[in-house]
Structure 1
Amino acid sequence: MSTDTTGQQETAATSGKSSAQEGFKATERIEGGPGPGRGPMGGGMVGQKAMDFGPSARRLLGRLAPERSKAVLVVVLGVASVALMSVGPRILGHATDLVFAGLFSRQIPADATQAEAVAGLRARGDDNLADMLAAMDHVVPGQGVDFHAVGRVLLLVLAIYAGAAVLGWLQGWVLNGVVQNTIRTMRQDVEDKINRLPLGYFDRSPRGEMLSRVTNDIDNISQSLQQTMSQLLTSLMTVVAVLAMMVWISPLLALIALVSVPVSLVVTRAIMKRSQGQFIAQWRRTGALNAQIEEAFSGHALVSVFNRRGEVEKRFAEENDELFQVSFGAQFVSGLIMPAMFFIGNLNYVVVAVVGGLRVASGSLSLGDVQAFVQYTRQFTQPLTTVASMMNLLQSGVASAERVFELLDADEEPADAAPTPHPPVRRGEVAFEHVSFSYVEDRPLIEDLSLLARPGQTVAIVGPTGAGKTTLVNLVMRFYDLDGGRITLDGVDITSMPRAELRGQIGMVLQDTWLFEGTIRDNIAYGRPDATEEEILAAARATFVDRFVHSLPDGYDTVIDEEGSNLSAGERQLVTIARAFLTRPALLILDEATSSVDTRTELLVQQAMAALRTDRTSFVIAHRLSTIRDADLILVMEDGAIVEQGTHDELLAAGSAYARLYNAQFNAGVAEEVA
């Protein structure tokens, strides 16, 4: 059984034939060779079907529901900020009217009225100037520009813009809290989901791909929401507010400005449709590249030993090139939106300027109104351009959300049945009653298997690779559920027990050690965090960890790095054995647990295990048959069935499958000594 699989078994509850049917479990695959996505030259991608943009985006926004009150506050602050920003150009246009009226006033004699000046212009044939003068307010013949009035207007505009800026800052601050709380909840949901997924999901998912979804994709969602939500919300409200002001000033010019909206939507839709698939491909290729890198790094020593670095580099270059191609295509195509929007906006600006000038000349509009309208035109097209420019980020974020939602929607292991009352007996009697199991529906692995392991017995399981040895103990752990029959522990059906309660009575030591970054003391106490210092030291002495710990600089406080490279393979194995000792299990599972220690240490560990196995049932998976001669019961498995069972001497005397395995190992050992 692999280290990775072990870690997943310890952290993620697993079971469910529906999940396992899609492929063999990692343990069996590794025994027979690297499977898809496993091993230094594994690779492979999990099949994925992208959702539509609309449903995915709505579902992503739906995750903001717990922050509903703050979201309402964001909208209120946004409306207030946009309202102030929208009023500003209209008031600023009034200042322009004051300046323009003052310039005309200076040209009119002080003893003439505005009506007389208009009549004089018409008499000279200057009808356009007459119309403009007739439409003006604040004309005082002979006075010129009223700078005090202009100053008051400018101060009012400054106050309005300052208030809009403060409200916008508050909106951003509240929105930041909304987004980060949502992302924190999403990360927690993903973590909880992983702990509810069956083992089969991890078997067929490369670790790099999983890490990409949990880290890269969620970070991308956070960045996309942070950068787009505020701008999109503000932009949409700005469009509505500015449109209202434009209609108020001139319905004709507003109609002209609105012509650009459907044109912009058509162009944006066409570009988005082309780029959305490329963003999906971009994040899928990112996951594939992460999986390839993770495998190459974790198996670096093996890659070097077999001189496969060239092939790994070639695969990396191919994956990197594919990621470059789809990323370049996605960014380039989506990047066309903004230039296209600028072009449409500039055309609209030209038309508005020409028509507005004609309306001023006819006296239908004031110069200040046209100036305000031109500003509104820019404010109208700018949010549309902003929305368009955000589409690449939004599409990228929704593409990542789809991948996270696929993880959140994955089939979970069946829930624990309601626990039935049973006496807290910890004898460790395990019974298989007509058990049947298969990973794939049409390929049965175990059929009608029955056996009884009595308390205190050591049951050894032997057989060729892929015979189902590890499967047998995984069924006891409920990493997978049965197709038929049942398994009982101390007479209680394990399916009627919560998984946590069941696994709390089982200690497991694997061939591949799994240690986390922390002190030796913390690693030993991993199975019983409430253990006392005396209990930890007793377990360490019983498993001979105490022998090498004192040679380390910090003793039991020595920090083990992530890979455990500061301990030898045998020392790491001893720590895992001490961990199992400390849990005081009713049932002990040893999967080739002494294969990583030297011969002398193995003898000492076997002595310690003999004491540990007292009054406890032990399942020992062994390939070196010399280590199980003293087992109370030896099961010989082939193709998921028990073909022989008995003691070492009984099976040798029978001269069948066990004898062939034993003699093959013995002859191999003799041949090695002769060589």
Structure 2
Amino acid sequence: MLYRRFEKLIDPFRSAPEHMPPAEVVRFYIFYLRQVWPIFSVLLVVGLIVALIEVALFSYLGRIVDLAQNTKPAEFFSLHGKELLWMAVVALILRPLFNALHDMLVHQSINPSMTNLIRWQNHRYVLKQSLGFFQNDFAGRIAQRIMQTGNSLRDSAVQVVDALWHVAIYTISALVLFAEADWRLMIPLTIWVIGYIGALAYFVPQVKRRSVAASDSRSKLMGRIVDGYTNITTLKLFAHTRQEEDYAREAIDDQTRKAQGAGRVVTSMDVSITFMNGLLIAGTTGLALWLWSQGLISVGAIALATSLVIRINNMSGWIMWVVGGIFENVGQVQDGMQTISIPRQVVDKPGAQPLQVPHGEVNFEHVDFSYGKGNGLIQGLDLVVRPGEKIGLVGPSGAGKSTLVNLLLRLYDLEGGCIRIDGQDIASVTQESLRAQIGMVTQDTSLLHRSIRDNLLYGRPGASAEELQEAIRKARADEFIPQLYDAQGRTGLDAHVGERGVKLSGGQRQRIAIARVLLKDAPLLILDEATSALDSEVEAAIQESLETLMRGKTVIAIAHRLSTIARMDRLVVLEHGRIVESGSHAELLEHGGLYARLWRHQTGGFVGVD
């Protein structure tokens, strides 16, 4: 029950503002720590009490030595029993109590929940980045940075709280206790503190700089390894295992060298501080013995001074590693910020409203787009798709067909012009509502590594079992789903499909995708090479399902096999991002232009020959 109370102090799924996390490291820390400040405030107070108790125990040691030296054994407990009882209370009750409170705050509240709070909020922010963001980086590196940032930020914040009090309390308390015995005992410790701060000031920035480089190198290594695993089929097909090994070897070598560079600095810092610690112990103990020999301090003061400097010596090594760890973690946070603190390229406008599609008219008005390259891929394009009309986009590779579809989905923002659906500018509606109104079957169908049922219900999560079965039947997927099974013994709809659906054939993946869109039943439909993975027999079998799917919807279809879209209401021919022809199949053949040439190439069997 007690553990559960501490575990519920931080909600890992707390909502965060939608704006970008700060791009400056201190403000980035504050952004997340501010959300859990009550817990850290309590930890700060508890850390102070724990440090004071630790110092008090050393003062008790010196006090006991002096009492024992100056009191007859028979009278020792009768004269000092109350004082000894208080020391026992501090050692046996207060110290364990506050240490337990400290550990529960760290291990039950902060470590699990705060770490996952940071991961959750970062994941939510990154998940809404544009398609281009994910296309420009390794999926493995993005995931690595999301995971490591939560750990590193938490560790460095907790270490700062713990180290802050231990350094401050031990140093100040030692100086006070030494001054009470004899002010000259302060001299070695004061010199050591100055030298210690100087060593940290010299070495820590180097540790931080090299840790950032090592962390970036580690993320790159992770990205390369995950990239190889993700594309393992290509790797095997081209028999490039050695080339892939060299690709990973290069990243491992780079990461090793950068980690070694960081290690050199840490070793140098360790050796320097160890030498300074030896001087502190020898200097303080020697000075204490000399002062005792002169009758200026008691034996208890020697015990206190020696035990405290030995403790400070041990603590300084811990502080050194903690400070090194803090800046290594700060370096990893900075590395993670390269992925996390990046403005979203495609965002909803303030006050964006949900898209309403009563009719289904799509209007491209003077559309310009070039993927930011300057020279327009699509230039001044105008196209109106009437409600319920079914058009086919035709043209050679690179003509802009898929780009036009991506712009309609607002995976990228236009560079000029606008796209309207039933008179509503898609840049002024929410992205979620826009894509909810569009069903799409793509050429490269990618499924989630989840069950068949989960993949299908992505189309409509609230669909009933009867609606699910009807969509499966219409897509002719009922022919193979009952026979599916996975390594865990799950079968049928419960079978998992593997990463990106690799356990299914191309035709099976395509039929799952068609069933998913049938289930979604959106008023606008995009078919991007929807039957490209199907053989002619299967394509003919589900053509009826596709016609059912298209019924009553506004349809934009892309296909290189022109026979699959020849029956569309209208064909729009693109070349170099411009509409060069438009009309029915018969009209375009009679016109004798680009479409007629493409048709002759395919039906005549001489693809690519003019």
* TM-score, scaled to structure 2: 0.88
CA distance in 1, matches of 2:212, 2:442: 39
Deviations 1:569-616 (A, max 9, x none): 211110111110111111101111111112111112222111221221
CA distance in 2, matches of 1:58, 1:492: 39
CA contact (8 A) 1:99 1:145 kept: no
Q: 2:530 aligns with which of 559, 577, 593?
A: 593
CA contact (8 A) 2:442 2:527 kept: yes
Equivalent AA in structure 1 for residue 299 of structure 2: L
Aligned pair 1:264/2:196, yes or no? yes
Q: 1:609 aligns with which of 546, 551, 558?
A: 546
User: Which residue number in structure 2 is paired with residue 499 of structure 1?
Assistant: 431
Aligned pair 1:314/2:246, yes or no? yes
Aligned pair 1:463/2:395, yes or no? yes
CA contact (8 A) 1:652 1:658 kept: yes
Aligned pair 1:174/2:105, yes or no? yes
For residue 397 of structure 1, report the CA deviation from its aligned partner. Answer: 0.8
User: Which residue number in structure 2 is paired with residue 568 of structure 1?
Assistant: 505
CA distance in 2, matches of 1:180, 1:241: 34
For residue 402 of structure 1, report the CA deviation from its aligned partner. Answer: 1.0
Q: 1:204 aligns with which of 136, 152, 155?
A: 136
**Which secondary structure does the structure 1 equivalent of 2:363 belong to?**
strand
In structure 1, list runs of 5 or more residues that go unmatched: 1-18, 20-49, 102-137
CA 1:145/1:614 → structure 2, altered by over 3 Å: closer, same or farther? Answer: same
CA distance in 1, matches of 2:362, 2:85: 86
Equivalent AA in structure 1 for residue 100 of structure 2: W
User: Which residue number in structure 2 is paired with residue 247 of structure 1?
Assistant: 179
CA 1:667/1:536 → structure 2, altered by over 3 Å: closer, same or farther? Answer: same
User: Which residue number in structure 2 is paired with residue 418 of structure 1?
Assistant: 351
Deviations 1:20-76 (A, max 9, x none): xxxxxxxxxxxxxxxxxxxxxxxxxxxxxx98xxx6256425522222222222222
User: Which residue number in structure 2 is paired with residue 476 of structure 1?
Assistant: 408
CA distance in 2, matches of 1:215, 1:263: 37
For residue 350 of structure 1, report the CA deviation from its aligned partner. Answer: 1.0
Q: 2:564 aligns with which of 627, 636, 641?
A: 627
For residue 317 of structure 1, report the CA deviation from its aligned partner. Answer: 1.1
Aligned pair 1:641/2:571, yes or no? no
Bigger radius of gyration: 1
CA distance in 1, matches of 2:416, 2:378: 10
CA 1:445/1:671 → structure 2, altered by over 3 Å: closer, same or farther? Answer: closer
CA distance in 2, matches of 1:150, 1:209: 68
Aligned pair 1:161/2:91, yes or no? yes
Give the 5 Å matches for 1:507-546: 507-546=439-478
Mean CA deviation greater in 177-186 or 361-370: 177-186
For residue 642 of structure 1, report the CA deviation from its aligned partner. Answer: 1.4
For residue 298 of structure 1, report the CA deviation from its aligned partner. Answer: 1.6
CA 1:61/1:460 → structure 2, altered by over 3 Å: closer, same or farther? Answer: same
CA distance in 2, matches of 1:395, 1:187: 20
For residue 282 of structure 1, report the CA deviation from its aligned partner. Answer: 0.9
User: Which residue number in structure 2 is paired with residue 4 of structure 1?
Assistant: none
For residue 465 of structure 1, report the CA deviation from its aligned partner. Answer: 2.1
CA contact (8 A) 1:85 1:161 kept: no
For residue 213 of structure 1, report the CA deviation from its aligned partner. Answer: 0.7
**Which secondary structure does the structure 2 equivalent of 1:259 belong to?**
helix
Deviations 1:407-433 (A, max 9, x none): 3321123323434698x5432211112
Equivalent AA in structure 2 for residue 560 of structure 1: V
For residue 345 of structure 1, report the CA deviation from its aligned partner. Answer: 1.4
CA contact (8 A) 2:51 2:165 kept: no
CA contact (8 A) 1:95 1:150 kept: no
User: Which residue number in structure 2 is paired with residue 47 of structure 1?
Assistant: none
CA contact (8 A) 1:513 1:573 kept: yes
CA 1:555/1:625 → structure 2, altered by over 3 Å: closer, same or farther? Answer: same
- Greater RCO, CA 8 A, separation 6+: 1
Aligned pair 1:579/2:516, yes or no? yes
**Which secondary structure does the structure 1 equivalent of 2:458 belong to?**
helix
CA 1:624/1:240 → structure 2, altered by over 3 Å: closer, same or farther? Answer: farther
Aligned pair 1:305/2:237, yes or no? yes
CA 1:186/1:299 → structure 2, altered by over 3 Å: closer, same or farther? Answer: same
For residue 386 of structure 1, report the CA deviation from its aligned partner. Answer: 1.9
Equivalent AA in structure 2 for residue 653 of structure 1: E
CA 1:421/1:579 → structure 2, altered by over 3 Å: closer, same or farther? Answer: closer
Deviations 1:258-295 (A, max 9, x none): 11112112222222232322211111111111121122
Q: 1:662 aligns with which of 588, 599, 604?
A: 599
CA contact (8 A) 2:208 2:330 kept: no
Equivalent AA in structure 1 for residue 538 of structure 2: T
CA distance in 1, matches of 2:137, 2:607: 43
User: Which residue number in structure 2 is paired with residue 89 of structure 1?
Assistant: 58
CA distance in 2, matches of 1:619, 1:223: 52
User: Which residue number in structure 2 is paired with residue 114 of structure 1?
Assistant: none
CA contact (8 A) 1:462 1:635 kept: yes
CA distance in 2, matches of 1:86, 1:583: 67
For residue 671 of structure 1, report the CA deviation from its aligned partner. Answer: 11
CA distance in 1, matches of 2:171, 2:35: 28
Mean CA deviation greater in 659-668 or 537-546: 659-668
In structure 2, list runs of 5 or more residues that go unmatched: 1-19, 486-490
Equivalent AA in structure 2 for residue 166 of structure 1: L
CA distance in 2, matches of 1:331, 1:57: 25
CA contact (8 A) 1:434 1:450 kept: yes
CA 1:512/1:252 → structure 2, altered by over 3 Å: closer, same or farther? Answer: same
Mean CA deviation greater in 350-359 or 160-169: 160-169
* Amino-acid identity (%): 28
User: Which residue number in structure 1 is paired with residue 493 of structure 2?
Assistant: 556
CA distance in 1, matches of 2:25, 2:349: 31
For residue 368 of structure 1, report the CA deviation from its aligned partner. Answer: 0.7
CA distance in 1, matches of 2:380, 2:31: 49
Deviations 1:334-389 (A, max 9, x none): 23323322221110111112221121122211111121122222333433332211
CA 1:395/1:528 → structure 2, altered by over 3 Å: closer, same or farther? Answer: same
For residue 455 of structure 1, report the CA deviation from its aligned partner. Answer: 2.3
Equivalent AA in structure 2 for residue 384 of structure 1: S
CA distance in 2, matches of 1:286, 1:517: 26
**Which secondary structure does the structure 1 equivalent of 2:349 belong to?**
coil
CA distance in 2, matches of 1:337, 1:191: 37
CA contact (8 A) 1:427 1:615 kept: no
Aligned pair 1:377/2:309, yes or no? yes
User: Which residue number in structure 1 is paired with residue 124 of structure 2?
Assistant: 192
CA distance in 2, matches of 1:249, 1:273: 38
For residue 308 of structure 1, report the CA deviation from its aligned partner. Answer: 1.9
For residue 558 of structure 1, report the CA deviation from its aligned partner. Answer: 3.2
**Which secondary structure does the structure 1 equivalent of 2:480 belong to?**
helix
User: Which residue number in structure 1 is paired with residue 214 of structure 2?
Assistant: 282
**Which secondary structure does the structure 1 equivalent of 2:392 belong to?**
strand
* TM-score, scaled to structure 1: 0.80
CA contact (8 A) 1:71 1:175 kept: no
CA distance in 2, matches of 1:658, 1:338: 74
Equivalent AA in structure 2 for residue 85 of structure 1: E
Give the 5 Å matches for 1:44-193: 56=25, 59-60=28-29, 63-101=32-70, 138=71, 148=77, 152=81, 156-162=86-92, 163-176=94-107, 177-193=109-125
